[in-house]
């Protein structure tokens, strides 16, 4: 959902964007790459950091783009023209989602280098690449059905989407190096601190460099759209929204001048304002959901119009359903709502006694 308070943020690079296959140098040794995506959200930002490992000069890549011929062509252009003739030394992936993880195997094989990622997201990527976790198939259709999505056409499409993740992430590197919260990584002679974030992916890692006042936020903090926070079928009682809001709080000690490098949208300053905006956004949504459930017991599907106020395609509907359940589960787990499995097999939520 677009950010109505976007004017509170500062975009120091203005409207400058890197063209496909090109880079935009933000600071010496920090280059911005932008790759296309075949969704309503049509791009992802990737980052190149000048590095040196074991005395060898080169680059660390942060995030990969989905596996597609177009993305590979863009990468080849970047390799040919924008690495100053140096190799890629390491690939860091913030989390397992296809736009971040997609080409990790291809990149690490091409450059004979290591993937660095959290253990949870590495292992989930392996499972998802070989199956259907949370992305489609019969279990996803049953989960959405239990939350009131009954349109046979949508359910048929969700059932048929079992290869959604593998189509964009066909393989996963056989080895990796584990990132953990609080770990310091030396990149180009400067320490970058791993900051874990929950609620969007199981163990998302953002990277903060104190010396340079830079935060590679991944998907945890985006300037224009709110980060997707979804309940998925493998963990139906999860409360990712509370986890996400708690993770945002943990960004507040960072310096005000921090330049945030997000995976979608443009680099910005104003992370404290953005955290405040997102907290307000979710507070309002939670209030609306609570009010709707006080009028009559509601299931997740009938809250979509209230929460999203626009027409959604199927890809957006599955994300929106996950978000709707996330708001309901947050209120349910906080004992503000109770839920009841009705005779039609659908959970409906009403005020807790």
Give the footprint of Zn ion on this chain (CB under 5 A): 97, 219
Can you tell me whether residue 179 is helix, strand or coil? strand
Pick the closer one to Zn ion by CB: 278 or 289.
278
Spatial distance between the Cα atoms of 191 and 193, rounded to a whole number of angstroms: 6
Pick the closer one to Zn ion by CB: 219 or 323.
219
Nearest to 204 by CA among 231, 228, 181, 238: 181
Q: What share of the chain is helix, strand, coil (3-state, %, to 5)?
A: 35, 25, 40
Pick the closer one to Zn ion by CB: 204 or 266.
204
**Residue 211 Cβ, how far from Zn ion at the closest point, in Å?**
27
**Residue 227 Cβ, how far from Zn ion at the closest point, in Å?**
8
Runs of H (alpha helix) within 131-209:
137-146, 152-159, 164-168
Nearest to 102 by CA among 73, 72, 132: 72
Pick the closer one to Zn ion by CB: 89 or 140.
140
**Residue 293 Cβ, how far from Zn ion at the closest point, in Å?**
28
Spatial distance between the Cα atoms of 206 and 100, rounded to a whole number of angstroms: 13
Spatial distance between the Cα atoms of 196 and 213, rounded to a whole number of angstroms: 18
**Residue 108 Cβ, how far from Zn ion at the closest point, in Å?**
20
Torsion angles phi and psi, residue 348, rounded to 5: -120, 145
Nearest residue to Zn ion, by Cβ distance, number only: 97
**Element (H or E) spanning 310, and its range?**
none
Can you tell me whether residue 293 is helix, strand or coil? helix
**Residue 261 Cβ, how far from Zn ion at the closest point, in Å?**
15
Can you tell me whether residue 148 is helix, strand or coil? coil
Burial, 48: exposed, middle or buried (Cβ in 10 Å; 0-12, 13-18, 19+)?
buried
Pick the closer one to Zn ion by CB: 51 or 121.
121
**Residue 218 Cβ, how far from Zn ion at the closest point, in Å?**
7
**Residue 152 Cβ, how far from Zn ion at the closest point, in Å?**
29
Pick the closer one to Zn ion by CB: 188 or 262.
262
Pick the closer one to Zn ion by CB: 146 or 206.
206
Cβ partners under 8 Å of residue 55, min gap 6: none
């Amino acid at each position: 959902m677009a950010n109505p308070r976007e004017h509170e943020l500062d975009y120091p690079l203005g409207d400058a964007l890197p063209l496909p296959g090109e880079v935009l140098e933000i600071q010496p040794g920090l280059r911005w790459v932008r790759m296309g995506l075949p969704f309503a959200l049509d791009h992802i930002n990737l980052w190149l950091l000048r590095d040196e490992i074991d005395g060898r000069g080169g680059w660390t890549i942060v995030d990969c783009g989905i596996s597609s011929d177009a993305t590979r062509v863009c990468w080849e252009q970047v390799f040919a023209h924008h690495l100053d003739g140096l190799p890629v030394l390491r690939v860091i992936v913030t989390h397992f989602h296809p736009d971040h993880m997609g080409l990790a195997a291809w990149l690490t094989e091409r450059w004979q280098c290591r993937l660095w990622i959290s253990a949870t997201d590495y292992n989930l990527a392996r499972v998802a690449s070989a199956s259907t976790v949370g992305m489609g198939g019969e279990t996803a259709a049953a989960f959405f059905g239990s939350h009131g999505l009954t349109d046979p056409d949508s359910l048929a499409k969700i059932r048929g989407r079992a290869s959604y993740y593998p189509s964009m992430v066909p393989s996963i590197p056989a080895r990796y190096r584990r990132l953990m919260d609080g770990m310091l990584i030396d990149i180009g002679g400067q320490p970058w601190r791993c900051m874990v974030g929950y609620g969007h992916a199981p163990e998302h890692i953002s990277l903060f460099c104190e010396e340079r006042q830079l935060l590679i936020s991944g998907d945890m903090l985006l300037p224009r759209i709110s980060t997707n926070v979804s309940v998925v079928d493998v963990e139906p009682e999860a409360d990712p929204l509370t986890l996400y809001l708690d993770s945002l709080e943990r960004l507040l000690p960072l310096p005000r001048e921090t330049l945030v490098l997000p995976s979608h949208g443009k680099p910005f300053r104003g992370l404290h304002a953005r955290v405040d905006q997102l907290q307000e956004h979710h507070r309002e949504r939670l209030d609306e959901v609570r009010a709707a459930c006080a009028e009559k017991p509601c299931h997740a599907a009938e809250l979509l119009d209230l929460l999203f106020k626009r027409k959604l395609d199927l890809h957006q509907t599955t994300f929106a359903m996950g978000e709707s359940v996330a708001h309901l589960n947050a209120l349910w787990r906080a004992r503000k709502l109770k839920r009841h499995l009705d005779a039609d097999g659908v959970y409906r939520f009403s005020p807790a006694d």
